[in-house]
Amino acid sequence: CSNSLAVDDALLTSCSLVAGLYPNIATLVRPKRPRQGGRLLTSDSSELCRPSSSSFQRRRVQQASDEGRDAYAVYHAKHRSVGAVSPGREQRQQEAFLSEVNFVSKFALILFGGRPRLVKNAIVVDNWLKFKVCDNDDGEKEKTNAIILIALRGLLDDVIVEHVVETFATAEEKSRMAQRHEKIIEVVRRILADEG
């Protein structure tokens, strides 16, 4: 197994996480001041959350700088702590925590998350996640790339349906489907690898 293939498989695994856990998506909210730490925002609430203490990505969120690229994560569940009172201390506020947080790429969200559509100069997924494709409405090349990406999402949906129904296909049909599926997955691998 080559190192490149292992990296590709890790990227495809993150896509599987998006597909399986969607709509449990959070965006990283960067701190307003340095060393304050980031928080995570989910679509179902305006309350900022933290990864649970056992989460693999807890340190990454805590050490988020006040500047940087947009970051997105999937999570397994959202929990709320109970405000506790200790003798001689103030009552702790209730807080929301996300368990099993894992950061994912924007392409994984576009290709395996909710329904993407092109709105002016951005790809919008489920009226919540917005991925800017160009700085203004005149970026025709970037818009064309966005349309191709959305079309690839449609092809991936077809691959999933064909994979389910292939059990009823002839050997020749299965072979043609497998070749088509390999080509589509290879395009996805290249897109995911180029994002990094």
Q: DSSP string of 36-48?
A: S--EEEETT-SSE
Q: How many residues does the chain have?
A: 196
Residue 125 phi, psi dihedral angles, 5° rounding: -105, 120
H or E segment at 38? none
The DSSP output letter for 93 is P
Q: What is the pLDDT of residues 56-104, one digit of tens each?
A: 788 999 888 888 888 999 999 999 887 766 777 777 778 899 999 999 9
Give the pLDDT confidence score for residue 1 in this predicted structure: 41
Specify whether the CB–CB gap between 157 and 165 falls below 8 A. no
Rounded to an integer, the average pLDDT of 155-165 is 92
Distance from C-alpha of 105 to C-alpha of 103, rounded to nearest angstrom: 7
Sort residue 35 into left (φ over 0), alpha (ψ -120 to 50) or beta.
left
Q: Across residues 39-54, what is the average pLDDT?
A: 92
| Residue 167 pLDDT class (50, 70, 90 cuts) | confident
- pLDDT at residue 125 is higher than 50: yes
